[in-house]
């Protein structure tokens, strides 16, 4: 069963990922396809790091 911590962190990451995807589509329309392509690995790793950070913060706040 998914805990509330996972739901909150996942919701934030989904919103972030959607905004990044829409930004990359917007930029690719203006000829920045190479920039979006090269930074795609960064955009995949970053939400995972943010997810872990948010999850730790929520967990720490709950424990204190």
Look up the pTM and report it: 0.45
Torsion of CA 46, 48, 54, 57, to 10 degrees: -110
Domain residues for the domain of 47 are 4-63
| Terminal Cα distance for the chain, rounded | 23
Q: Which pLDDT score, from 0 to 100, does residue 50 have?
A: 81
Q: How many other CB atoms sit within 10 Å of the CB of residue 13?
A: 19
Q: How many domains in the chain? A: 1
4-63, pLDDT tens digit by residue? Answer: 767 777 787 788 777 777 777 777 777 666 666 666 667 677 777 888 888 888 888 888
Q: Which residues contact 24 (CB under 8 A, 6 or more apart)?
A: 36, 40, 43
Q: Which pLDDT score, from 0 to 100, does residue 4 have?
A: 75
CA–CA distance, 56 with 36 (Å, rounded to integer): 29
Q: Which pLDDT score, from 0 to 100, does residue 34 have?
A: 63
């Amino acid at each position: 069963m998914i805990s509330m911590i996972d739901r909150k962190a996942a919701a934030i990451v989904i919103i972030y990922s959607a905004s990044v995807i829409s930004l990359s589509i917007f930029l690719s329309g203006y000829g920045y396809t190479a920039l979006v392509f090269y930074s795609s690995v960064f955009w995949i790793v970053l939400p995972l790091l943010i997810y872990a950070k948010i999850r730790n913060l929520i967990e720490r706040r709950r424990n204190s």
